[in-house]
C-alpha cells in the first residue's frame, strides 16, 4: 500500500469517526425529526386512503346502477319477445350485453379498491402502533439522557478527588467548628455567671437543707398549723 493510499485511508477513517460523533451528539434531535417525518408520512397515507375510499364508494354506486339497469332491460327484452318484437328484443339484448361488460369492469375495479383499502388500513394501524411505541421509547430515552447528564454533573463537581467537593467539605467543617466554639463560649459564660453570683453554691446548700430555703405553699401551711397548736396549748 502506497503512502498516499495510507494517508487517504487515515483521512477517510477520521472523517467517519467525526461523522459518527456528530450523529451521536445529535441522536435525540435526529430521532425527533425522524418521528415527525414518519408522522407526516402517516398523515399523507390517511389522506390518500380517504380519497381512495371515496373512489371506492363512487365505483360501488356505478356497479349497483349497472346491475339495476341490466335487470330493468332484461324485463324489456322479455316483454318485447312476448309481443313478437324480435328485432326490438335483440336490440335490448345488445344493450344488456354492453351494460354487463361495463359492470364486470367496474366490479373488477371495485374489488381492487376493496383489497388495497383493506391492506392500507392494516398498514396504517400497524404504523400507528409502531409510531406510538417509538414516541414512548423516545420519551424514555430523553428522560434517561437528562438523568445521566445530572448524574454526570454531580459526579464531576462533587467526586471525592474534585476540588469543588473538597472546598464544600472544608466549608462545612469550618461552620461546624465555629458553631461548636460559640456553644462552648456560651456555656463557659453561664458557668462564670453562676460562680460570680454564688447561685451555684446556694443551690448546692439548698439541696442538702442548709441556708435559705425556698418557701412553698405546703411549708406555709405547715408553719401556720404549728403556730396554731402552740397558741391553743
Q: In the predicted model, is pLDDT for residue 211 greater than 60?
A: no
| Secondary structure class of 214 (helix, strand, coil) | coil
When pLDDT is cut at 50, 70 and 90, the band that residue 1 belongs to is low
Q: In the predicted model, is pLDDT for residue 27 greater than 50?
A: yes
Whole-model pTM: value is: 0.52
- The Cα–Cα gap between 205 and 199 comes to 10
Task: List the one residue out of 122, 120, 116, 119 whose CA is nearest residue 56.
Answer: 116
- The Cα–Cα gap between 131 and 125 comes to 10
Amino acid at each position: 500500500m502506497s503512502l498516499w493510499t495510507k494517508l487517504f485511508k487515515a483521512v477517510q477513517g477520521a472523517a467517519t469517526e467525526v461523522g459518527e460523533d456528530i450523529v451521536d451528539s445529535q441522536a435525540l434531535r435526529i430521532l425527533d425529526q425522524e418521528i415527525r417525518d414518519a408522522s407526516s408520512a402517516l398523515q399523507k397515507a390517511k389522506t390518500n386512503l380517504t380519497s381512495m375510499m371515496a373512489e371506492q364508494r363512487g365505483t360501488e354506486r356505478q356497479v349497483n346502477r349497472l346491475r339495476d339497469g341490466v335487470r330493468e332491460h332484461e324485463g324489456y327484452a322479455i316483454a318485447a319477445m312476448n309481443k313478437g318484437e324480435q328485432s326490438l328484443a335483440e336490440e335490448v339484448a345488445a344493450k344488456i350485453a354492453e351494460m354487463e361488460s361495463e359492470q364486470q369492469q367496474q366490479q373488477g375495479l371495485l374489488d381492487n379498491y376493496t383489497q388495497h383499502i383493506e391492506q392500507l388500513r392494516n398498514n396504517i394501524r400497524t404504523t400507528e402502533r409502531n409510531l406510538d411505541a417509538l414516541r414512548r421509547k423516545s420519551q424514555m430515552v430523553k428522560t434517561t439522557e437528562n438523568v445521566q447528564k445530572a448524574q454526570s454533573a454531580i459526579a464531576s463537581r462533587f467526586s471525592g478527588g474534585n476540588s469543588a467537593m473538597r472546598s464544600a467539605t472544608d466549608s462545612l467543617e469550618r461552620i461546624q467548628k465555629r458553631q461548636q466554639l460559640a456553644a462552648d463560649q456560651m456555656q463557659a459564660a453561664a458557668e462564670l455567671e453562676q460562680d460570680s453570683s454564688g447561685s451555684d453554691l446556694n443551690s448546692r446548700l439548698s439541696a442538702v437543707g442548709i441556708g435559705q430555703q425556698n418557701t412553698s405553699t405546703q411549708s406555709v401551711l405547715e408553719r401556720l398549723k404549728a403556730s396554731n397548736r402552740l397558741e391553743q396549748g
